[in-house]
A = this chain, B = another copy of it.
Amino acid sequence: MAGGSVLLAAVSLLSAFQQLHFAWLVGNSRRKHKVMPPAVTGAPEFDRTFRAQQNCVEFYPVFLTLLWTAGWFCNQEVASLLGVLYVFTRYKYFHGYVQSVSGRVTAFYLNLIILVCLLTLGVAGLVNSFLHEYLDVSLGKKLHKLI
């Protein structure tokens, strides 16, 4: 099962580690600002830290779905590179948001652009696979012949 997915799995592990790290930082912020569970509001810095992590949590399954679909059906190397960029821009997003509400904006739009790129790769790969599997047409070969 593992052949041809090493890079995708490596990026997935990296992003999972990042999620654990963000949860850890929320815990630190709880102690720093004395916001005891189950409360999720308190000092403004804690509120921003908590929302930053929640936003990362919300997008995480979407990211994984797009990463693996793009990687399996289109190109593993390109998808993994976009995945590493996503992890990096999520890092910028989180720390930017902790600093100030406006500090999250640029990184958030970069995140969205990366997700749209992964979605596009995934759709392109799926259309090709679909034509190949159900209509026996290979776009890859046709493009190759043209060039």
Contact = CB atoms under 8 A, between A and B. Distances in A.
Interface residues of A, number: 51
Contacts of A60: 61-62
Contacts of A36: 101
A17 to B, nearest CB: 7
A72 B2 contact: yes
A80 interface: no
A26 to B, nearest CB: 10
A6 B101 contact: no
A18 to B, nearest CB: 9
A12 B19 CA distance: 19
A3 B62 CA distance: 22
